[in-house]
Every structure is written in C-alpha cells, then in structure tokens.
Amino acid sequence: MAINYPNGKKFVPPKEKPVKAKKKDFSFSNRGKTLEDELNETNDYYLQLGLAVIHKKPVPVQIVKVEYPSRSAAVIREAYFRAPSTTDYNGVWNGRYVDFEAKETENKTSFPLKNIHDHQIHHMSQVVKHQGLAFLIIRFSSLERYFIMRFEALEIFWNRMITGGRKSISLEEIEDTAVEIMPGAFPRIDYLPVLQNL
C-alpha cells in the first residue's frame, strides 16, 4: 500500500547510511572512566570502610533563570559561576585536613601548568600553612599512569613558570618529585597509603 503526503507526493523512505562502528577498547586499563569518576568511587570505598571522609566539592553556581515545563520538572535555563572554585576534593583523613586538585592530561611527556589556576595555588598554600595536606593527583591518560605531587613540589614548578621558566612539568620531573600510584581493581586509585609518606 502506498502512502502519500497531503500534497499528493508519494512517500519515499530515506536511504540508510551505513553506520561506522566505533572501536571499543575492552582492556582493563581503559574502561572509559575519567579521573573524577575513579576518585569518586575510591572516596566512596574509603567512606564505607571508615578510612576517610573525602568528597568532591560542589561548584558554586548562581541560578538566574528556571523554567517549569511540567509540575514535576524544573529546567535551569541560565546560571553563572558565583566564584572560582578552589580545589576539587577535601575532607578528613587520620585526623588531618586533606585538600587536593585532580587533573588529567593526554600529553605523554609533560603536564601543562595552564591546567591549574592562581586561586588554586593560593588556596593550597593556605591549607599547607595551617598544617593541612594539599596535593595534586595527575593522570596521564594515554599512559595510564597516576601520580601524587605534594603542593610544596608543585609550588616550585609554579614559581618557575611565573618567573619566565618552563610552562609545564616534564614527566621526568614528575617521576622525580611525585609518588606514582599503581592502579588497582578496587579501589582503582588507592591514594591513602601514599599520604602516609607525605
């Protein structure tokens, strides 16, 4: 049976284009998770075992315009960042305040310092001044390598950049000044044992 449009023209179904299948990576090392996903799962694990209370900080957002398309749903149409966020995570471990930033790079040879901001450096400096633990967790996603760098080491590289030096930290420098975390099954990034040495 032929179906015609109201204007009398015959309906011709569009030709289907072949869909290219995306290559899936089934390796254990790359499960499509971001560093943030891995850290959130790790922090949940620590919380359940009573090892630490560390959470992702909410981003400070000012909601300006909201629409209600139905009684049970609200849609935010306009919002702004109220203030620059400090670092990604904070909490308490072993009686110490813990505060850290988590960053990923696809670069294989260095970590670009443009990924960090002045206000984050200032914040971590204040944390260390008050005897808290401040550090950076770096993931080299293409290499599947993870590092914890103390703020004191990060600050040296930051000051080098500010005074006109290199705008990144080479992988060799990271290997020399940071501690590598070997990814595991669960938790994926077990960083608390490394903090013992910081």
The binding site for Mg(2+) consists of 86, 88, 101, 120
Which tokens belong to 175?
A: 């290997």
Cβ neighbours of 70 (radius 10 Å)? 7
Instruction: Please spell the DSSP secondary structure of 77-112, one letter per residue.
Output: EEEEESS----SEEEEETTEEEEEEEEEE--SSEEE
**What residues form DSSP beta bridges with 93?**
96
Q: Which amino acid is at 175?
A: E
DSSP state of 165: -
Which tokens belong to 90?
A: 């904070």
Which conformational region is residue 183 in: left (phi greater than 0), alpha (psi within -120 to 50 degrees), or beta? beta
Binding residues: 86, 88, 101, 120
Which helix (H) or strand (E) segment holds residue 167: the answer is none
CA dihedral 158, 164, 165, 167 (to 10 degrees): 60
- 3-state secondary structure (DSSP) of residue 194: helix
